[in-house]
């Protein structure tokens, strides 16, 4: 199964190999535990405000902080039964 993974550890090491998680959290004014969980790839959801602060700090795009790890057995075929169906609630009102 393919999954989304954090690349924060690599970004930090490329930026400054001596940069600690604690120092980064302090410099971007964010909760240490959240930064640590992203660094260790333990985060279930990525807060947008954290991604923004990290992007600005490292001068990178979000895709450089997170990415998809492909599973070799993963089948990327789209199931035809999941085709788009317009929802009555999605129609614009004139």
CATH classification for the domain delimited by 3-69, as one of 1.10.260.40, 2.60.40.2470, 2.40.10.220, 3.10.20.600: 1.10.260.40
Cα gap 91→83, rounded to integer Å: 17
Instruction: Give the pLDDT confidence of 26-54 residue by residue, as tens digits.
Output: 999 999 999 999 999 999 999 999 999 99
Contact residues for 47 (Cβ-Cβ < 8 A; gap 6+)? 34
Q: Which pTM value belongs to this model?
A: 0.74
Q: 5-19, 47-61, 63-77: which range is least confident on average?
A: 63-77
SS3 4: strand
Three-state secondary-structure class, residue 69 = strand
Average pLDDT of the segment spanning 77-92: 55
CA distances from 32 to 22, 36, 88, 94 (A): 6, 6, 44, 49
Mean pLDDT of all residues belonging to the chain: 87
């Amino acid at each position: 199964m393919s999954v989304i993974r954090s690349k924060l550890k690599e970004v930090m090491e490329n930026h400054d190999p001596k940069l600690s998680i604690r120092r980064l959290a302090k410099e971007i004014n964010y909760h240490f535990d959240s930064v640590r969980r992203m660094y260790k790839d333990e985060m279930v959801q990525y807060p947008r405000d954290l991604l923004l602060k990290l992007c600005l700090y490292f001068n990178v795009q979000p895709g450089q902080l997170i990415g998809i790890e492909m599973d070799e057995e993963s089948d990327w075929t789209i199931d035809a039964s999941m085709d788009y169906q317009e929802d009555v609630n999605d129609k614009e009102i004139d």
